[in-house]
Structure 1
């Protein structure tokens, strides 16, 4: 279960503000609150935050309220400057980059076919698939997530260690003929990580830059991220987009706070508020309800799916970024609360729904919903 791709594949830098620009650690003041009284209901019992640390193999838990750090926990040997693997939370970052590219006019519309910007995508089942269909995980390509994602990692690693004699590059995986059409794009939800890689290929085609440079320019620098980050690449230097951003808990918290503020940051509307709404909230024609989103080890109808984000059911308007092994950014705009959870959690389901119960309890403790 212990798989650390950064041990065997290179990474590229994601850099933030240069000297003279204030990093976000100055914009995230500490305002500690005692959360020892927080209790959440799960599995017929009431649990504390300490219980969740143990149950969810928590490496870091950071809570913002109104942009201030009210709680911060790091499990040794991790600390405030530790770079944590995002796993699939990178998909939510990718969604923001697509929104920014549309806003900048580099991509004409969310309804544009991706192969307009990356013609190589027209060679298989991605032909004609729009950004919107891909962001909603309804691209229609034939892909078995749990099998094909693992195989992709193995092949990218083999490609590196054989100097290209074996395996595949990321680009070869995205454009391989085996990705035929399994269903009509837009007709249903089917989670497939290769779709995020196709989105990145089209985004890079539209921008004429690699993903890590786009991320540095469009998010890390304007948000004044507190710490630089890294992103995994293949042997050719092509960035992963389905996963594998390595960033600090505070950087993930800033990203969550930016979305809590509907794309505004320090008085500037960096990302269109409508895009944030479309990406993160249950919105007819722009997201799937949780009943349409099949998930393994699902115990309740909680997580829908928008533009690569997970809107939550329950009428609270909250939403999450999610990655395997217990990575989560929970955002509750009504309460002004962001909860970042970073874990090494190998239990089936990664205590994902329990994590939502925990984060909602924290938010309710800090600011009860009216």
Structure 2
């Protein structure tokens, strides 16, 4: 019945496989891969790093330091050409693009009600919520039952529910179900629907598809290669919240492009917005407790006895797909795997594996 009714397609969208190729409908993102500078002899993972890599089911771990590739490690069956599913990593790219829209005047202020840009869309309570509340996952929408990016979604996924309708038909298919819960208002609740709303805002204010905006403003300027982005059905827009298939090196490029704020000649964001994206205004406690900012997470390395210390930001996807970014160290670390790895220990072990830092 699920196959005959078309319900299998949203199920595929909810659980696409971790590597390319995958079932479903996809938009090809053009790329112009820029060579990465590489040290003459790549570092090898130290014993702690090897144990973490194996025990967490890691598939790839790469380190870019000072703009040079210094470590590149893959599990058997994977390699430099493997395109991994981003899962929710792409959310952080959409978040950066929202700030770009602010810098270009397409969005006047993140405090503006979302209805300013989506006139007549959704319920009145929905339209009154600030754009920034969707960016920080504090919109108050009562939409997804579990409210988290869990690995066991398959056991709770309802093919007849609102999330399935979103997967199949995009945000327009659930317009009348975008209802705000007073109990959840301004509370952090992680939901894909928030990113879907932001994707719709971007497409509306620019009058262009989201994949074109990401390609022109981030993907190509970063020097990333060809990728494949899941769509809502055969003719729908791309899924703003999930599932872009690209290589780990492409994520190194994107991470460093955002970290360096584009180029001196063509900054990606004004300095104040760039600082906001990387959590410049966060208190020490805010970082140590773990903070979700503009669709990117923030934390701090402060373990006694470790050489690497300081704040870092990170994109994270289902199963522990992660892009660590430390502007203060000119460091980007990309990790893909089948389940989560220890957040801080993975970054420490990668750093300690570099030549001269063992």
Structure 1 contact 32–69 (Cα < 8 Å) conserved: no
Residues 165-314 of structure 1 aligned to structure 2 (within 5 Å): 169-177=169-177, 179-183=179-183, 185=185, 187-225=186-224, 227-235=225-233, 236-261=235-260, 263-265=261-263, 267-281=265-279, 283=281, 289=286, 302-314=289-301
CA shift for structure 1 position 168: 5.1
CA shift for structure 1 position 61: 0.9
Task: Quote the Cα distance in structure 2 between the aligned partners of 1:260 and 1:357.
Answer: 22
Structure 2 contact 144–162 (Cα < 8 Å) conserved: no
**Cα distance change of structure 1 residues 179 and 32 upon mapping to structure 2, 3 Å threshold:** farther
**Cα distance change of structure 1 residues 274 and 157 upon mapping to structure 2, 3 Å threshold:** closer
Structure 2 contact 44–354 (Cα < 8 Å) conserved: no
| Corresponding residue of 1:104 | 104
Residues 54-133 of structure 1 aligned to structure 2 (within 5 Å): 54-123=54-123, 125-133=125-133
User: What is the DSSP-based 3-state SS (H/G/I as helix, E as strand, rest coil) of the residue aligned with 1:77?
Assistant: coil
Question: Cα deviation per residue 1:201-229 (whole Å; 9 max; x = unaligned)?
Answer: 1111011111111111111222222x111
TM-score, with normalisation over the residues of structure 1? 0.78
TM-score, with normalisation over the residues of structure 2? 0.80
User: What is the DSSP-based 3-state SS (H/G/I as helix, E as strand, rest coil) of the residue aligned with 2:333?
Assistant: strand
CA shift for structure 1 position 62: 0.8
**Cα distance change of structure 1 residues 279 and 237 upon mapping to structure 2, 3 Å threshold:** same
Task: Quote the Cα distance in structure 1 between the aligned partners of 2:91 and 2:318.
Answer: 12
Task: Quote the Cα distance in structure 1 between the aligned partners of 2:256 and 2:179.
Answer: 37
CA shift for structure 1 position 258: 1.8
RMSD: 3.3
Aligned residues: 328
Q: Extract unaligned runs of 5+ from structure 2.
A: 1-10, 303-309
| Corresponding residue of 1:294 | none
Task: Quote the Cα distance in structure 2 between the aligned partners of 1:288 and 1:254.
Answer: 30
CA shift for structure 1 position 94: 0.4
Structure 1 contact 115–202 (Cα < 8 Å) conserved: no
User: What is the DSSP-based 3-state SS (H/G/I as helix, E as strand, rest coil) of the residue aligned with 2:141?
Assistant: coil
Structure 2 contact 122–176 (Cα < 8 Å) conserved: no
Corresponding position: 1:327 with 2:321: yes
User: What is the DSSP-based 3-state SS (H/G/I as helix, E as strand, rest coil) of the residue aligned with 1:111?
Assistant: coil
Q: Extract unaligned runs of 5+ from structure 1.
A: 18-22, 39-46, 161-166, 291-300
**Cα distance change of structure 1 residues 71 and 366 upon mapping to structure 2, 3 Å threshold:** closer
| Corresponding residue of 1:359 | 347
